């Protein structure tokens, strides 16, 4: 409904789009150091009137200490490639993250965290003879959060750059995302978040620009009494 109302009011040029993303995640806190996440996302494109993709994902996270962690995960994607002949594609993706945060002053209401991700994606059912090569990306993301006293909707801002590596493709710094959002925590187990994201390709001619609304729900299951859930 949100996408339909939006698309009625705005007609984007071909190099621009408005997308809606709906996401969910279940987190199992196994111990003080280990977490396992199961999640998925559904995306609409072309002014949120056409199915784009759906994916499921599983991740394992290890907390090194209060400021550093490592994540490894895999994702299955079912994608609608409707450029030219309509064709649905199946992809598999693997990623590994190094996450860290910097607190120069614990009393400062503004905090920053960072994520460096390497990811590899491949289309299932196709080979190099069909022109299919692994798609590799290095992604660097910064997120800033301002903690407002006695207020549950603390604002967040984010910036992420994408550095692409693939045979027969444009390589280097290819696009970026900027985001503004907030989250609301009902209790220690349930949380929702809302984000507005602007994505722009980095190209010399007719770069694609996408505006995105993302709504997410998080559910946490604690298998012990550890209350620490960070990074």
pLDDT above 90 coverage of the chain, percent: 69
Q: Given a cut of 80, is residue 131 above it in pLDDT?
A: no
How far is it, in rounded angstroms, from Cα 36 to Cα 32?
12
What is the reported pTM? 0.86
How far is it, in rounded angstroms, from Cα 72 to Cα 13?
38
Compute the CA torsion angle 57, 229, 137, 16 (nearest 10 deg). 80
How far is it, in rounded angstroms, from Cα 137 to Cα 198?
19
Task: Give the pLDDT of residue 102.
Answer: 86
pLDDT above 70 coverage of the chain, percent: 86
Rounded mean pLDDT of 54-74?
97
Domain 2-222 CATH (choose: 2.40.128, 1.20.120, 1.10.3470, 3.40.30) = 2.40.128
């Amino acid at each position: 409904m949100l996408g339909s109302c939006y698309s009625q009011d705005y007609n984007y040029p071909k190099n621009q789009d408005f997308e809606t993303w709906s996401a969910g995640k279940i987190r199992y806190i196994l111990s003080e150091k280990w977490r396992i996440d199961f999640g998925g996302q559904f995306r609409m494109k072309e002014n949120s009137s056409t199915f784009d993709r759906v994916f499921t994902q599983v991740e394992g996270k290890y907390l090194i200490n209060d400021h550093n962690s490592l994540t490894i995960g895999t994702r299955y994607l079912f994608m609608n490639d409707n450029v030219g002949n309509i064709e649905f594609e199946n992809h598999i993706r693997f990623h590994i993250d190094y996450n860290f945060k910097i607190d120069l002053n614990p009393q400062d209401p503004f905090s920053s965290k960072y994520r460096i991700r390497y990811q590899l994606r491949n289309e299932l059912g196709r080979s190099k003879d069909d022109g299919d090569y692994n798609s590799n990306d290095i992604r660097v993301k910064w997120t800033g959060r301002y903690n407002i006293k006695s207020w549950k909707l603390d604002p967040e801002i984010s910036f992420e750059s994408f550095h692409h590596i693939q045979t027969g493709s444009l390589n280097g710094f290819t696009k970026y995302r900027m985001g503004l959002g907030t989250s609301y925590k009902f209790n220690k187990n349930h949380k929702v978040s809302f984000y507005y994201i602007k994505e722009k390709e980095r190209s010399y001619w007719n770069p694609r620009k996408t505006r995105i609304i993302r709504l997410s729900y998080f559910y946490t299951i604690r298998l012990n009494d550890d209350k620490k859930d960070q990074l």
